[in-house]
Amino acid sequence: MALRLTQTVRDYDTVARLGGDEFVILLHHSQENSATAVADKICHAIAQEFLLEGLRLHTSCSIGISTFPDHGLEYDVLLRRADMAMYQAKSLGKNHFSLFSDALEREGMEYWQLETELREALERKEFELYFQPKINLATGAVCGAEALIRWNHPVRGLLTPDMFITYAERSDLIIGIGNWVIHEVCRLLHQWDLMGVPPMEISFNASPRQLLESDSLIAQIEESLASFSILPQRLTMEITETALMQEKTWKTAHEVVKCGISISLDDFGTGYSSLSLLQKLPFSSLKIDRSFVRDFIDNLTDGTLVRAIIGLTRDLGMEVVAEGVETQIQATTLARYGCQIGQGYFFSRPIQTTQFLEYLKTA
């Protein structure tokens, strides 16, 4: 990696490693256009295949660019702004670079403000779990639910995960938030048991950062299960393909299964390595992404893909969950194709705990 980086710049430029997988390159006497040209050259160089001990490896990079004096006069300012631009590049996908702008500065200020508020939210207990029922498509009975976090923001009102999880992912806060979700799911299951609510399976989402922090995740799972006397078979951890892009997370997934908790592959079909993941990890279920379910009735291609996914998953001995079910005809057709479980607005939106318990009484 170091050799490829140094080969893309001039002899009098500086290449340094900040730590982990982060590098800094100082281009002397360069203008904006030459900096972007070098960034493009680096992206192409890093994307080339690595041969390591007989293995062919591929990697990518994200590059943020800031220039002196346009974007700052001091080193720490230039580094911070290049870091902002790097996160912008990451959001564009693999092997991109991005140049700092005033708009990024405004977004950066918003990020630091929201990070502070997120820390306070954990302390003030502003988070809440909503539940979206999962329905057995053959019988119409509730067979479980997905726990979804909401933030009761004191000023902005009720916030859904898409409005704050990205910010939490960029800091260590996602670990604390993820731990809270696991603890709260177990606490509520224990409370429902005392109320006489019929036992059911509850799924929760795991973030990429949680899966990279294996010891912390497993410790939280074991502590929560033990504290509330919950059988691990009542929990399912949903993992997206994106979260499993690093092989280190595969070991964590196996450790979770060893605890007795099932794992489900979420948003199937939207990532890069679905079939290989099904081969390498012990999934108990698979969720067909809503982007396929939305149009599969009228779109021949989507319909063919949905049937193929259901057939493949059932042949592998896994349950199939279709998310984003919004109409009766979708539910009926999915059941006819062999899909066991449906989830979506046709059955219920995500609802508060008290509403969910009422839903169970009438379902």
Question: Are 253 and 239 spatial neighbours (Cβ–Cβ below 8 Å)?
Answer: yes
Calpha distance 216→143 (Å, rounded): 30
Q: What is the pLDDT of residues 204-230, one digit of tens each?
A: 999 999 999 999 999 999 999 999 999
What is residue 252's predicted lDDT score, i.e. its pLDDT?
A: 95
The reported pTM is: 0.75
What is residue 61's predicted lDDT score, i.e. its pLDDT?
A: 92
| CATH, range 2-100 | 3.30.70.270
Q: What is the pLDDT of residues 257-297, one digit of tens each?
A: 999 999 999 988 776 555 777 888 899 999 999 989 999 99
What is residue 343's predicted lDDT score, i.e. its pLDDT?
A: 98
| CATH, range 113-362 | 3.20.20.450
| Residues 6+ away with beta carbon under 8 Å from 59 | 46, 47, 50
Give percent of the chain with pLDDT exceeding 70.
Answer: 98
Whether residue 69 has a cis bond before it, omega within 30° of 0: yes
Report residues of the chain scoring pLDDT below 50. Answer: none
Q: Where are the domains of the chain?
A: 2-100, 113-362
Helix (H) or strand (E) holding 133: strand 127-136
